[in-house]
């Protein structure tokens, strides 16, 4: 067979898509109609450049069915479900259709429900706090039960006492009572003698030591039971009237650094010894155990006093 152009209708040479091109159309190519195994729907295929988007002039566009039977827009108009990304809100394309807001007053997408989130967070925190409180209450109840099972003794121990515990030094001072003496228990020397005519002495029976206003007169107190070496306060109860007095104090055979001041602190009139009872003090250093304290009238002293009692306290105090 002589080669040549046998026409577009020759089956073996026919291009099934020739009708889509200009040269195929010039050769008489026609769109297939169910032949060559093509379905009839191929008839809807049109040559390139001939398809029109939109209804013919003067003819209404057929409605298009959207998803789930909803009608789409006019024929040839963009379908919202299949439009290009740039046509969606925020896509940047000019004239892009905007999605209607869920609220009647404003556009844009609906923001997160912050109020609902806040309420949920508060509810979670409240649940946690309630759980902790219940756990603590249960623990306290278990402890109480355990105490009852252990014997139920509610008497507070020393460590549970609300008041401060006394220190070791305070306890020692409370336990060890330092000695004191009355006039009748002292050893008298020189012109010193006991008397009781003047009222106001604190010693038993109102007895005191008088006649000390002569040189060489003295009273001596031998003290036993000093707990330790150190400074102590010696208190002397006496009566002075009129002019202030002073006498010599000797501790363990050594003269004290200064005279013992026996002033008229009660401001009693001269000779009115009943109103002149008062107290003075000195701070001698004593040894542990036994000590000797002597009050005497030496040359130059003023000794017109009545002696009542001696007593001691630990440390340097004034009352």
pLDDT in tens, the chain (319 residues): 444 455 445 554 556 666 676 666 777 766 665 544 444 444 455 555 555 555 455 555 454 544 444 444 444 555 544 455 555 555 444 444 454 444 444 444 555 667 778 888 888 888 888 888 878 776 655 554 444 333 333 333 333 333 344 444 444 445 568 999 998 899 999 999 999 999 999 999 999 999 999 999 999 999 999 999 999 999 999 999 999 999 999 999 999 988 999 999 999 999 999 999 999 999 999 999 999 999 999 999 999 999 999 999 999 998 8
Kind plus residue range of the DSSP H or E element containing 188? strand 187-189
Alpha helices in the chain (DSSP H): 22-26, 114-149, 168-175
Q: Which one, of 217, 240, 238, lies nearest residue 294 by Cα?
A: 217
Find tokens 């001269």 and name the residue.
Answer: 270
d(CA 214, CA 191): 7
How crowded is the C-beta side of 189, counted as CA atoms within 13 Å?
A: 12
| Residue 128, token pair as written in the block | 């946690």
- pLDDT for the residue numbered 14: 57
What's the Cα-to-Cα distance from 318 to each of 109, 261, 315, rounded to whole Å? 89, 14, 10
d(CA 207, CA 201): 7
Q: What are phi and psi of 164, to 5 degrees?
A: -70, 145
* Other Cβ atoms within 10 Å of 79 Cβ, number: 12
- pLDDT for the residue numbered 66: 45
Per-residue burial over 154-169, b if 16 or more Cβ lie within 10 Å, else e, is: eeeeeeeeeeeeeeee
Question: What is the value of pTM for the model shown?
Answer: 0.47
- pLDDT for the residue numbered 126: 86
d(CA 121, CA 126): 9
Q: What are phi and psi of 255, to 5 degrees?
A: -70, 135
| Residue 122, token pair as written in the block | 């508060």
* Other Cβ atoms within 10 Å of 105 Cβ, number: 5
Q: Do 207 and 183 meet the contact criterion of CB atoms below 8 Å apart?
A: yes
3-state secondary structure of 111: coil
How much is the CA Rg of the chain, to the nearest whole Å?
63
Q: Do 27 and 9 meet the contact criterion of CB atoms below 8 Å apart?
A: no
Q: Degrees (nearest 5) of the Cα angle 67, 70, 76?
A: 85
Alpha helices in 150-198 (DSSP H): 168-175
d(CA 202, CA 233): 19
| Residue 134, token pair as written in the block | 């219940």
- pLDDT for the residue numbered 120: 83
N residues, the chain: 319
């Amino acid at each position: 067979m002589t080669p040549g152009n046998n026409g577009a209708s020759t089956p073996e040479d026919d291009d099934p898509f020739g009708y889509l091109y200009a040269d195929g159309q010039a050769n008489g190519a026609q769109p297939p109609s169910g032949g060559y195994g093509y379905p009839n729907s191929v008839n809807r295929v049109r040559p390139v450049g001939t398809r029109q988007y939109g209804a013919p002039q003067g003819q209404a566009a057929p409605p298009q069915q959207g998803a789930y039977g909803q009608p789409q827009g006019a024929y040839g108009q963009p379908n919202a479900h299949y439009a290009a990304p740039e046509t969606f809100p925020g896509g940047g394309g000019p004239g892009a259709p905007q999605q209607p807001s869920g609220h009647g007053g404003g556009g844009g997408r609906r923001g997160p429900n912050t109020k609902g989130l806040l309420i949920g967070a508060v509810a979670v925190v409240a649940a946690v706090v309630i759980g902790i409180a219940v756990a603590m209450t249960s623990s306290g109840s278990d402890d109480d039960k355990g105490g009852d099972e252990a014997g139920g003794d509610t008497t507070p121990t020393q460590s549970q006492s609300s008041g401060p515990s006394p220190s070791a030094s305070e306890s020692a001072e409370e336990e060890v009572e330092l000695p004191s003496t009355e006039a009748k228990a002292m050893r008298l020397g020189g012109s010193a003698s006991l008397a009781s005519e003047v009222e106001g002495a604190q010693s038993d029976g109102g007895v005191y030591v008088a006649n000390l206003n002569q040189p060489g007169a003295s009273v001596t107190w031998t003290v036993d039971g000093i707990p330790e070496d150190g400074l102590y306060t010696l208190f002397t109860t006496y009566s002075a009237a009129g002019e202030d007095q002073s006498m010599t104090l000797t501790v363990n055979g050594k003269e004290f650094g200064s005279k013992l001041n026996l002033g008229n602190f009660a401001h009693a009139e001269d000779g009115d010894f009943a109103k002149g009872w008062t107290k003075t003090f000195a701070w001698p250093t004593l040894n542990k155990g036994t000590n000797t304290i002597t009050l005497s009238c030496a040359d130059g002293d003023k000794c017109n006093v009545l002696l009542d009692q001696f007593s001691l306290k630990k440390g340097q105090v004034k009352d």
